[in-house]
Structure 1
Amino acid sequence: MANKMETLAKQQKGFLGIESARNNVGITVSYWESLEAIKSWKQDSEHLLAQQNGRTQWYNWYHVRICKVEREYDFKSK
């Protein structure tokens, strides 16, 4: 389902990118150009179905955080 949702998200207006890590804990961060784009994604019918399945089948809990990225930088060793 995660791969399906990523493919679907990439087709949405305002989608900028996604990062994901899955081991004992799964974390997915998606990037959107506006709050309106986030609201639209939240209301997508296939995404709503995936959210419902998450509540009933896959997760005991989850946490959503909506943030604005003010600055970004990274470091890579040689």
Structure 2
Amino acid sequence: MYLVMFRLDPGEYDSKFHELNDAIQEASEDTEGYLGKRTWHAPESEEILVVYYWESLDALESFGADADHKRAKQRWTEWYDAYEVTVTEIIETYGSGFADDADPPM
């Protein structure tokens, strides 16, 4: 399993952002191997962390080829003050107490 962390400092969102964001989310959900996502908001700043779960690197690369995703990446300076993407392979995950809220989200 792969985890993609998208850390961002939001700027100004316009209607084109929302349109592309919705299209990208739909494309990710339609990509075979997409397992879900979680979003966190930092309480001390406007920073947001979105974590996407992927079954394989091939699935992630397939999503990366989406035309709307590519277009949004080219326009990031219009909507974000800063961003960072980290791709990590999950070796193991364990814990207790989250029940239906365990990772990856389904």
Decide: shared fold, TM above 0.5: yes
TM-score (norm 1): 0.76
Count of residues paired in the alignment? 75
Which residue in the other structure is 1:32 paired with? 54
Q: Distance in 1 between matches of 2:26 and 2:96?
A: 26
Q: Distance in 2 between matches of 1:73 and 1:44?
A: 34
AA matched with 1:71: T
Q: Distance in 1 between matches of 2:37 and 2:24?
A: 11
TM-score (norm 2): 0.59
- Change in Cα spacing, 1:75 to 1:58, as seen in structure 2 (3 Å) is same
- Report Cα offsets for 1:10-33 as digits up to 9, x if no partner: 111110111112460121111111
Task: Please state how far the C-alpha of 1:66 moved relative to its aligned partner.
Answer: 0.8
Larger mean CA deviation between 32-41 and 4-13 belongs to 4-13
AA matched with 2:83: Y
Contact 2:23-2:68 at 8 Å conserved across structures = no
- Change in Cα spacing, 1:36 to 1:75, as seen in structure 2 (3 Å) is same
Gaps of 5+ in 2: 1-17, 99-106
Gaps of 5+ in 1: none
AA matched with 2:34: F
RMSD: 2.0
- Change in Cα spacing, 1:63 to 1:74, as seen in structure 2 (3 Å) is farther
Flag the structure with higher strand content. 2
Q: Distance in 1 between matches of 2:67 and 2:85?
A: 18
Q: Distance in 1 between matches of 2:78 and 2:35?
A: 29
Contact 2:27-2:63 at 8 Å conserved across structures = no
